[in-house]
Structure 1
Amino acid sequence: MARYGSRASFDLDWIERWARQVNDDRRLPVIGRFFTSRFVLGVDDTDYLIDVRNGKIQKISEGLLPNDMGYDFGLRAPASAWIKFSQQVPPPMFNDIWAMAHPLHKQLVIEGNHLPFWQNLRALTHMLALMRQI
């Protein structure tokens, strides 16, 4: 584990630091100005509901309640995969969500409504890449 960083888990505090990094980014207001969606970032058995409005993260909720099922899509992976993905220089097959979701690798599951996922892919991948700066 030490080879892939010192982060032991992706807790709510870490997710909130990532959200601050996303909201302070100067590029996202441009490339994400139409990115308004609710998506789930799944880490092991914990789900974080991320509410994005115009490219900014407005709200984060830990865990899903029955009334939270209105999310558009979900990205679920084990914590070990997110730890490798969020390194400053990730190892092969963890450098982007496509490598993690590849059928031969199967570290990431993309679920739900794929339309808002594809429509906002550039902003979403940039948001996720900002995990490497925390």
Structure 2
Amino acid sequence: MKNTAILLCGVPLLLASACTSSFSKVRGALNDAPEWYEARRTEIRGEGYPAIADIPTVDANWKPGERLAASGEEIAVIQAAFAADARAQAPAAGAAEIAAVVAEIQGAFEPGLPPGEFFTETEIAAIRASFNVPRVTEGVISQ
């Protein structure tokens, strides 16, 4: 009975002291939080966003088609300037000029790879013979 009473009194005291220290740690962490933390916390809560009643209304004199015509004229001017630029013109020889550039670049490197050092037919036959074990291949050859 005495041991049970000690446990019943001691455990809540230990939990209370643990909670007190954890609350002070959390409070310290909140005070030492980085600059962006408060903005993120506000965003998560959903605060700072405009209310639906605050949505601006469209001006009655606004006509969507007006700006489209002006932007079409701007695009035509930009396309004409691009077409007039010498760098936009395709080369007359086209593919021949590209092939010449490729040949020039390839000529800067050493010619090709060295010849391969592959096995000769006799070396291949020797390797195959080394794997020819009669007790293993006997059944395969007869079939």
Which TM bucket (shorter chain)?
Answer: under 0.3
Q: Please say which structure displays the higher CA radius of gyration.
A: 2
TM-score normalised over the length of structure 2: 0.14
Higher helix share: 2
Higher strand share: 1
TM-score normalised over the length of structure 1: 0.15
